[in-house]
Amino acid sequence: MPADVLSVVRNGAFLTGAQWSEAVLRAVFVIAIARLLGAEAYGIWNYAIGAYTLGVLCSIMGTDVLMARQVGRAPEEATPFIAAALGLRLVLLLASGVALALFALLAAEDSTLQLALLLTVPALFARGLALWSRPIFTGLERAGMVLRITGSIRLLELVVGLVILFATRDVLLVLGWHAVSWVLEALVSYRLVQRATGLRGPRFSRAQVMPVLRAGMPIGLAAMAVAALTTVPVLLAVPLGFDLQAVGQLGIAVQLGSLLTMAAQGFLNASLPVLSRRTDSEQTGTGSHGWLVVLATLLLFAPVCLLAWQFGGPLLALVLGEGYSRAAELLWLVLLVAGASVVPNGYWQLLVVAHRQRAGIFPSWAGLLLSLGLLVFTDLHQTLEGLLWAALAGWILRASLLVAASLRIREADQNPT
């Protein structure tokens, strides 16, 4: 097996293990909160997690892809870029933190939900810093480090969190501990990045940060739309009038769907350094990457959707209890939405490594606007299924436009006029 393929498989396995360990351990929280406190408490947990996660994703501004590409291409020259990316990340996290706090104080009517949102502000900063480190380890092809850090700290979060949950039955205290655990991961990750790269600290000077911002903005603008499209069903449920019980049912289904998404994204993220090297050296073999991702996504998600459609009810009743039949009804549709979100990402990566990331802005925003438009101008906003169908339409439009843009640009590059 070629060395590049081995690198993707090895690092993909590590990154998938890290993401799955994070998702599975959090799923244990889902089960514990659902069984001990009920769907309403889980609705508070899931809504708060979704809101601050949106803030984290909006603060990345494409630097995760840029750092993995830069480090994978020339790791010995990447430290100044990493430092500037860190400075930009901290500034954007500050803006996202302020926005989240204002949203909690001004928009959340339920006092418990308001406090839950405020408790996640420290988690936003810490998680943003921890996620900054992961593409650096990916670019260095040391993704095993990500697995060790994530696995150990998320396990600590689980053990202590379950003790807090069983002792107090208070979802707010569990959210507070969740924030503390991310602070721990951020500190450990930052220290290990310093050892691996010689990084001395962030750089905030305009001359250093602005090139990173300009390079990352096309990816960041597309990623903002993707993040919003990902969180539309859950975050819009409360403003549209659904109670926290319904939000909890939807959130449980979405959390289970994220397991497959994380598995697929682990291998996709691991392939980026290899794609960058192949593109830079003009090696062949990158053209098949897009359709191979489409094929792998279909092979992964299609049977799981069918299984969820047929057996989702008994499975969730066994794991969560009889009170979650609504989540079981939504599960197959959630998995379908998750698959649609992953399908075109191989073509997106080809655009990124070819420095054509601007082509991803319009498909992502078009998908988001279609989803929001369907909720505003149709009756889809009246049911949880409608929220998911609107999101699915947005993802399908994004996928179609992204694949078309990638193929058109590739053809133009191969046949210049």
Read off the pLDDT band of 129 (50, 70, 90): very high
Average pLDDT over residues 210-234: 88
Percent of the chain with pLDDT over 90: 33
Read off the pLDDT band of 125 (50, 70, 90): very high
pLDDT at position 286 over 60: no
pLDDT at position 416 over 70: no
- pLDDT at residue 39, as a whole number: 81
Asked if residue 191 is part of any domain, the answer here is yes
Choice between 9 and 139, residue whose per-residue pLDDT is larger: 139
Average pLDDT over residues 237-265: 82
Average pLDDT over residues 317-334: 83
Q: Distance between CA 254 and CA 366 in Å, rounded?
A: 23
CB burial string 102-126: b at 16+ within 10 A, e below: ebbeeebeeeebbbbbbbbbbbbbb
- pLDDT at residue 268, as a whole number: 59
Asked if residue 159 is part of any domain, the answer here is yes
pLDDT at position 150 over 70: yes
Average pLDDT over residues 322-331: 84
Helix axes 361-377, 206-235, angle to 10 degrees: 30
Asked if residue 416 is part of any domain, the answer here is no
Asked if residue 291 is part of any domain, the answer here is yes
- pLDDT at residue 284, as a whole number: 43
Asked if residue 417 is part of any domain, the answer here is no
Average pLDDT over residues 165-175: 92
Q: Which of 335, 337, 277, 341 is nearest to 306 (CA)?
A: 335
Residue pair 352/219 in contact by the 8 Å Cβ criterion? yes
Quote the mean pLDDT of the chain: 83
Q: Which of 50, 218, 20 is nearest to 127 (CA)?
A: 50
Counted domains in the chain: 1
Read off the pLDDT band of 285 (50, 70, 90): very low
Average pLDDT over residues 304-313: 87
pLDDT at position 189 over 60: yes
Q: What is the pTM of this model?
A: 0.80
Q: Distance between CA 262 and CA 268 in Å, rounded?
A: 10
Give the structural domain span for 248: 3-411
Average pLDDT over residues 321-332: 84
Question: Which range has the worst mean pLDDT, 111-120, 265-274, 285-294, 316-325?
Answer: 265-274
Asked if residue 96 is part of any domain, the answer here is yes
Read off the pLDDT band of 354 (50, 70, 90): confident
pLDDT at position 50 over 70: yes
Residue pair 394/367 in contact by the 8 Å Cβ criterion? yes
For the stretch 67-96, pLDDT in tens is: 877 777 766 677 888 899 999 999 999 999
pLDDT at position 280 over 50: no
Q: Distance between CA 264 and CA 357 in Å, rounded?
A: 21
- Name the range with the highest mean pLDDT among 6-10, 29-33, 171-175: 171-175
Question: Which range has the worst mean pLDDT, 27-36, 173-182, 337-346?
Answer: 27-36
Average pLDDT over residues 401-417: 78
Average pLDDT over residues 49-66: 88
- pLDDT at residue 377, as a whole number: 93
- pLDDT at residue 126, as a whole number: 95
- pLDDT at residue 373, as a whole number: 96
